[in-house]
Structure 1
Amino acid sequence: MILTKDAFFEVLEGNRRLTIRIVEAFPEDSLFGYSPHPQLRPFAEMVKEIVNMEHGYMSGVALDVWEYKDVFEGISTKEELIRTCDEVRAHTSKMWNEMPEERLEVVMKDPFFGEAQSHFARLQYGLENEIHHRGQGYTYLRLLGIEPPAFYER
């Protein structure tokens, strides 16, 4: 079975709900300051990457406006982080609903990473990136002695 545009968006939504639940499980100081190794980033920085990528990709896919910018400038609290995530997702949802399904089939060079691919593949890559970083969040929580949210509850 092939996913429809709306079915794919529900996959994105379920994953984002779970990512936000991981954010909520972190103590605020650990969300922004904890890293188990100097070469690894705090989870808040990973969330910023996930959502900045979403913002850049959706504006490009839906509107053909390709700009990768930090939508989290000046954010330093869990509440602000979650609010910004919600604002970007609301904007994504609006663009998604207005975008014709055929936009997902467009193939072009990726303005951020270079490789030519379909918009669908580009958004799938963004989802895979989110899943990867969320897995790191699970690990961080366990290292902090915090039981993470159930993976299967979306």
Structure 2
Amino acid sequence: MSSTTEKTKQVITSSELLEHWQGHRALTRKVIEAFPDEALFNHSIGGMRPFAAMVMEFLAIAGPGIKQIVTGETEKLEENIDHANDKKKVLELWDKTTEVINEYWAKIPEEKFHDTILTFGEYEGTVWSSIFYFIDNEIHHRGQGYVYLRSLGIEPPYFWER
């Protein structure tokens, strides 16, 4: 009697997922750059937060979230990040977070992606579902940034230019 072992093919690799996320982050960076300085921190429609506040949320989630996945050390979600109402400072923070993501991503073993975690001590899910949330949240709020840019008469970057 012979047996066969069915091999599951992987749809996407860890490095491809990182490349996908960093593509979204590169596009979001272009959106930040497209804002006039004053509008980045103050422009709002319908009571929504200014785009800079949304960017602080992305920064509060991305770097600390990946660090937590790797180290297991939980931090509370902290969106009050000092940016001094300076777009250059926001972009510096963005670039530093990109480096943090790359550094810690390399330390996530492939088998860990299905582990259950409690991100920021509050949100239960798997490592992969948490990362998908990080990405989806950024895409959602970036869409709000597109609306803001259009309301200011500014053509936003093409969404496919990642």
TM-score, normalisation: structure 2: 0.87
Larger radius of gyration: 2
Amino acid at match of 1:129: N
Matched with 1:22 is 31
Q: Counterpart in 1 of 2:45?
A: 36
Deviations 1:52-99 (A, max 9, x none): 111221111111121133472243210000100110110110111122
Are 2:117 and 1:108 equivalent residues in the alignment? yes
2:77 is the alignment partner of 1:72: no
Q: 1:112 to 1:137 in 2, by over 3 A?
A: farther
Matched residue SS, 1:75:
coil
Which residue number in structure 2 is paired with residue 5 of structure 1?
A: 14
| CA 111–52 in structure 1, closer or farther in 2 if over 3 Å, else same | closer
User: Runs of 5+ in structure 2 lacking a partner?
Assistant: 1-9
Q: Please, which moves more after superposition, 68-77 or 125-134? A: 68-77
Change (3 A) 1:104 1:81: same
Provide structure 1 residue ranges, at least 5 long, that are not aligned to the other structure.
none
| Cα contact 1:109–1:117 (8 A) shared by 2 | yes
Query: Which residue type is aligned with residue 135 of structure 1?
Result: G
Higher relative helix content:
1
TM normalised by structure 1 equals 0.92
Which residue number corresponds to residue 99 of structure 1? 108
Maintained 8 Å contact 2:31/2:156 = yes
Asked if 1:83 corresponds to 2:92, the answer is yes
In structure 2, the partner of 1:148 is 156
Q: 1:130 aligns with which of 127, 135, 138?
A: 138
1:127 offset after TM fit, Å? 0.5
Q: How many residues align?
A: 152
Cα RMSD, aligned residues only = 1.5
8 Å CA contact 2:114, 2:126 repeated in 1: yes
Whether contact under 8 Å (2:66, 2:104) holds in the other structure is yes
Question: Distance between the aligned counterparts of 1:130 and 1:84, measured in 2?
Answer: 15
